[in-house]
Amino acid sequence: MTTSVKTKLVDAFSAKDASASLEATKIPRRDLLADDVEIEILFSGVCHSDLHQVRNDWKGTTYPIVPGHEIVGKVSAVGSEVKNFKVGDIAAVGTMVDSCGTCQNCLDGIESYCLAPATQTYNGHDKHLNCPTYGGYSDSIVVREKFVLSIPEGLDLAGAAPLLCAGITTYSPLKHWKVGKGQKVGVVGLGGLGHLGVKFARALGAHVVLFTTSPSKIEDAKKLGAHEVVLSKNADEMQKHTSTFDFILDCVSADHDLDAYLNLLKRDGTHCIVGAPANPQPVSVFSLITGRRNLAGSGTGGMQETQEMLEFCAQNKIVSEVEMIEMSQVNDSYERLLKQDVKYRFVIDMKKSKK
């Protein structure tokens, strides 16, 4: 690491390779630059992409890796040019900590699609320290003010942490495709993403149908806001909904049959993928052609939209359903994630872990 920026070491948890468990380590955090905000991390959500990245499922992981991009904490210091945050404020960091600021996507306020590309909160490249970026499984983080978010009053802080990735990942496509009253919307999968997709779609006024392979999730889905629940392995149940959906939000990160859902769309309907299966998913072009249907994908949103999402959550009393853990339990939580054994997001209590 060659840099003129001074650093300090902080406690964190990292994996040294794809087969390693997360273990305690020290990582560098830069001393404050003029527009930096330092945040003492209180809560860090455990995202399914943390697991994928740690185990190199998507390839391209740089080790050692410190995961975590659903971060809520307290501002502990600010740079001389910071205007919107002060020490003691509750703040948040999501999936990115920087972008080029000059490409058309950045100028349009959707920095998540920066052509440079955006600097990811972890497993990105820290241009200040010339080393990988390190995420929220740590005591603190230093981020440019532009990429720090405000948590509205009234939101449960632990429940708000997963909103920084799972929340904006499901909110953004629903807003982009103008989901609202009078529409029939499907949500595929009731996991970390899907349970928030159900809450958002319901709050936006849509008629919400949850698709699941698990009969045990039917009651939960209804409690979370689904008007109907369809067992996707039941061909007769699926058939009843042929050509009736305006929009389907696909939150599944495992291999599944896309054609089965495309055929449920109305003419000009959209099936949007936000889950990220590791393997390519086959599609019959006739599922698209026969109804002029759209197959799309969506990532996280820009900073303005993410702040908008947090305000929407405060107004509609939406937070993630969480199971609290300590850092010592995170390796076990990864194994449970693989078994879908969580309702519906693990969140690490970083202060309790430190004690």
Angle between helices 303-316 and 194-203 (to 10 degrees): 70
* Residue 328, helix vs strand vs coil: helix
Is the pLDDT score of 2 beyond 60? no
- The per-residue b/e assignment along 4-26, b for 16 or more CB within 10 angstroms, e otherwise, is eeebeebbbbbbeeeeeebeebe
Q: Are 155 and 316 in contact (CB under 8 A)?
A: no
Please state, in angstroms and rounded to a whole number, the distance separating the CA atoms of residues 194 and 342: 13
Question: Average pLDDT in the 36-65 region?
Answer: 95
Q: What are the structural domain ranges in the chain?
A: 7-165+302-312+320-354, 166-297
* pLDDT one-digit tens code per residue, 274-326: 998 878 999 999 999 999 999 999 999 999 999 999 999 999 999 999 999 99
What pLDDT score does 3 carry? Answer: 58
Alpha carbons 302 and 292: distance in angstroms, whole number: 29
Instruction: Name the nearest CA neighbour of 162 among 338, 337, 20.
Output: 337
Same fold, 7-165+302-312+320-354 and 166-297: no
Q: DSSP letters of 17-74?
A: STTPPPEEEEEEEEPPPTTEEEEEEEEEEE-HHHHHHHTTTTS---SSB-----EEEE
Q: Which amino acid is at 48?
A: H
Give the CATH class of 7-165+302-312+320-354: alpha beta
Per residue in 189-213, pLDDT tens? 999 999 999 999 999 999 999 999 9
Rounded mean pLDDT, 55-66 = 94
Enter the pTM of the model.
0.95
pLDDT tens readout for residues 115-154: 999 999 999 999 999 999 999 999 999 999 999 999 999 9
Topology given in CATH for the domain delimited by 166-297: Rossmann fold (3.40.50)
DSSP per-residue letters across 159-205: HHGGGGTHHHHHHHHHHHTT--TT-EEEEE--STTHHHHHHHHHHTT
pLDDT at residue 355 in the model:
65
Amino acid type, 152: P
